[in-house]
Structure 1
């Protein structure tokens, strides 16, 4: 089925297909330059970057049509889509999808950004005047908002796979997002350009390559520790331009001649594995993958199996690959595959005839010794086949490395992370801190400094609670004052006196009470020991972390509430983003 054939076009039903081919050719020229580049940077004209960015968005748009036109998935835009169908005399969501695709292909990259900015401004004005978020059915160029978000909120760079690795090409991996920063969009968008190169869009919030532990709002990303320097302009000085001047320059014909130096970062084997992990955990049961080398693919799956053990939230993500692993292990070496010749046929992720049962996998003997409540995640994965195959019936590839992680090591790593969480301080002893704020601030630091919340069960739990609380709280708020400006760099001080502590803590806990948000206590290990153990009050710890998460969001995004609710507290330094540490 040709998705781009427009039967309503009586002149040329394949017109969109031809226009898409022109865009693909322009983008392919840029991608080939990146592949052929032998240095860590590549110089590209703005016009080339614009072609590549448009291609990246259009490929994402064609992969996820339901995101934009499925009434069950995009409720906020349903009225707009219905109005579009009427206005353009369209009959089905597919026709609407093709209509918008034509707009993306026919409209210059710069003009789409301008249209998106105008649409965002109209929606923002409505929020300020009515206090509600609503997409007017007659909003012009609503379809440009998503394009503008990807074009303006992210910067572009490239990652190259390690020499001993490759990037897995999945049928839904183009435009896949990764990473969450509370209250903000995805941190990364991944665009595999082949087994050696992925184009990466990273949020401008992380443009400065700051130490992740210094971010005051919680975030989750397993790719943020991989370097990605932002593009460097070579022909134009943007440093002293105001936003309006920058917008005017970008819209001018002269801007197409701007030259930027973009990074091509060669990844380590571990970093390549991290990128593949994101791609693999998002593969669907009925999905497909393409790869160059069977031995490398097998090693990639083994690395992913280990990660599924260490990260409980991935515990069920490996099941769908077990039939594929069995198939890879049982195949004889094939010269064409091992010599790096691409496989032209995507490999199904799972086949009904390839099911693996408990009779033909190797059980790990350490399962009986597990003391953690994570045993249902860890032992379950091992029972399903971390060792993957029965060595008596399977001949492994010579270049395949046997997974060497033990169950005890995985459990010990998780238990140690729990122990380390509160080890440095007696955080639950009130007399150890001059105020309840100082106690909570130190607990918030313990949470914020965990490198990646998704590998720590308590931190992962708190992050979900914070996100839900902020979402509920935002729904109760009216618009900020017309002159309000957010302060994204504002940070909470390390210390407050007793009176200020009481005021600010009453405010923070008051948010939770006002929205009647129920804090779900995270259950720690069952064999805690003495009542004096530092794990004795996880309910209190969860509540404090969630309260400080909300307080940080208010400080940065709605500090006007602090000024009106806590008069005389002296928050000027916080609002200006300076720390009192």
Structure 2
């Protein structure tokens, strides 16, 4: 019998970016003893623990990375001889994505730009989608059959078409097929539920990718369901004959925090220069703009390594023809094709790290907090900054004329008590230090 496995919906390689910096302030009047303690704390540093606020229990605690942000047997396929085959496939994709994320983080610490290859971007985009798709809220939607009437009927038809016995099997098949299918072809794979195929196209193909970087004194937070949260518009379309209608969403941004200093952001094509959102205004019948409209949105700069043969180029007259969404994924691909550019895996894309100011970082954190569940588990680095984040949460929604949907008064009180306790301990500790450099040492290990 195959033993149970604990699967992370937020991978360890990202959680380690939030790991506690294991440093210790060492006070010693003896140089030899000081050196011994220094070696001990350096050897203790493992980077495998997180500072957590547990909302259900209203407490601050330390958690091992190995036992948080995960679930038992998420990908277990009881209908296959190799029950963990999906997990094995996913581990390969995760390894590729981890290298891309590591390159982004390391480069951001030294340079203002990074160059990524098309094949690496494809792996990253696919992995980001699956990370969002496997978080509890999305996975449990299938397990608990929490669909509107129209979507529920579509799921039932999909199950019959593919001989699936439960909606949970639909979710697992979707994950498997997305992993196995080339990035550009996911939208056309009919073995993936049509709503999720459309979602993949909307985010991972139509949107362009940006990287937002927090300043020295700011940090992004990580929450249980923060991966893939969007900023945009929710609206309802009346259900009409044929079953069309229901709740709709239009997103300006999708957020994927990868470290306390970096967030990968998928941006709507309307932020491209010369595109705009006028067509959206006409569709909605009113004007609505992103709360991040003043943030810089530089699309990546492409460098194609190949051109089409002259005989296959489109005539110039076809540049005046309207964009056909059935033939091309987005307007940029249409333009590139008309210009004779041919996609290749080693095409290069140069991304500029967008320097996000404090207001922007707090606003992103506020969006993540506003979608928190009652069982929220929140990871952070700095206790004072987390307290400031909660204070800013209420201010941000007031400034943007929105009503906050969460009550974090208990969390705010718990943080306040912890900060005061830490302050008192520091004061007591300092009172016992001899004011002479040769009698005590203060050290912080990197």
Q: Return the TM-score normalized by structure 1.
A: 0.48
1:8 aligned residue? 79
2:203 aligned residue? 150
1:145-184 to 2 correspondence within 5 Å?
145-180=198-233
Q: Please say if residues 172 and 283 of structure 1, whose CA atoms lie closer than 8 Å, have aligned partners that are also in contact.
A: yes
In 2, distance between residues paired with 1:81 and 1:281? 29
**In the alignment, does 2:159 pair up with 1:85?**
yes
* Candidates 233, 243, 265, aligned match of 1:200: 265
In 2, distance between residues paired with 1:27 and 1:214? 35
- Greater alpha carbon shift after TM alignment, 86-95 vs 212-221: 212-221
* Candidates 172, 175, 200, aligned match of 1:101: 175
Q: Please say if residues 222 and 378 of structure 2, whose CA atoms lie closer than 8 Å, have aligned partners that are also in contact.
A: yes
SS of 1:257's partner is: coil
- Greater alpha carbon shift after TM alignment, 78-87 vs 203-212: 203-212
> How many aligned residue pairs are there?
315
* Candidates 89, 99, 114, aligned match of 1:19: 89
- Between Structure 1 and Structure 2, the one with more strand by share is 2
* Candidates 361, 370, 373, aligned match of 1:281: 370
**1:326 positional shift:** 1.7
Backbone CA RMSD of aligned residues: 3.7
**1:307 positional shift:** 2.6
In 1, distance between residues paired with 2:192 and 2:253? 28
2:106 aligned residue? 36
In 2, distance between residues paired with 1:234 and 1:71? 45
1:358-369 to 2 correspondence within 5 Å?
none
The 1:169–1:36 alpha-carbon spacing in structure 2 relative to 1, beyond 3 Å, is same
1:444 aligned residue? none
In 2, distance between residues paired with 1:219 and 1:397? 49
Q: Return the TM-score normalized by structure 2.
A: 0.62
**In the alignment, does 2:130 pair up with 1:58?**
yes
Q: Please say if residues 383 and 419 of structure 2, whose CA atoms lie closer than 8 Å, have aligned partners that are also in contact.
A: no
**1:147 positional shift:** 1.2
In 1, distance between residues paired with 2:218 and 2:277? 26
1:102-141 to 2 correspondence within 5 Å?
102-113=176-187, 115=188
- Between Structure 1 and Structure 2, the one with more helix by share is 1
**1:249 positional shift:** 6.6
2:298 aligned residue? 229
Structure 1 gap segments, 5+ residues each? 120-137, 336-393, 399-581
Structure 2 gap segments, 5+ residues each? 1-71, 236-247, 308-313, 428-446
The 1:148–1:210 alpha-carbon spacing in structure 2 relative to 1, beyond 3 Å, is closer
In 2, distance between residues paired with 1:140 and 1:103? 10
In 1, distance between residues paired with 2:344 and 2:268? 23
In 1, distance between residues paired with 2:411 and 2:76? 35
The 1:86–1:184 alpha-carbon spacing in structure 2 relative to 1, beyond 3 Å, is closer
2:117 aligned residue? 45
Q: Choose 1 or 2 for highest CA Rg.
A: 1
Higher relative contact order (CA 8 A, sep 6+): 2
The 1:106–1:237 alpha-carbon spacing in structure 2 relative to 1, beyond 3 Å, is closer
**In the alignment, does 2:350 pair up with 1:261?**
yes
1:325 aligned residue? 412
* Candidates 303, 323, 327, aligned match of 2:392: 303
**1:278 positional shift:** 1.1
The 1:258–1:69 alpha-carbon spacing in structure 2 relative to 1, beyond 3 Å, is farther
